[in-house]
Homo-oligomer: A and B are copies of this chain.
Amino acid sequence: MISSREEVTQQIVSTKVRKGIKWSEVASAIGLSKEWTTAACLGQMTFDKSQAETVGDIFELSDEAIAWLQIVPYKGSLPTAVPTDPLIYRWYEVVNVYGSTIKELIHEEFGDGIMSAIDFSMDIKREADPKGDRVNVVLSGKFLPYKTF
């Protein structure tokens, strides 16, 4: 009996290590970006039936696990409110140090509202640089204005 999506995520992660699967391979198999695919495999997104079956094949999942992949999960991938992992912390730090800046500039350009984290996409790429390659990330989120009512 599987009682949470986390159990399925652990099976996926475990099989990935054991079989040496890459996230980009999984993404190719289901025909979507590596970013969305990885998030979904890590229990943050919902697969449709055919995607879930493909993922199930790759990670040797049971039918029950495949059913769970099609259920909307309880989201949030971090074990603590302030992440301890250095890579993820740097992102938290960007939000902390540049948060007020991001807020000011989006409001200066668009007025009151937010950048959606739902109608949202993300693209992570290597950016070659003679002084040391860089991680280049493009975030795109729909601007949603606050409305009066």
Contact = CB atoms under 8 A, between A and B. Distances in A.
Contacts of A18: 64, 67
A1 to B, nearest CB: 5
A94 to B, nearest CB: 5
Nearest to A99: B88
A134 B36 CA distance: 19
A121 B149 contact: yes
Contacts of A64: 17-18
A126 B109 contact: yes
B148 A135 contact: no
Interface of A: 1-4, 10-11, 13-14, 17-18, 20, 22-24, 32-36, 38-39, 42, 44-46, 64, 67-68, 71-72, 74-122, 124, 126-127, 129, 131-149
A4 to B, nearest CB: 7
B138 A143 contact: no
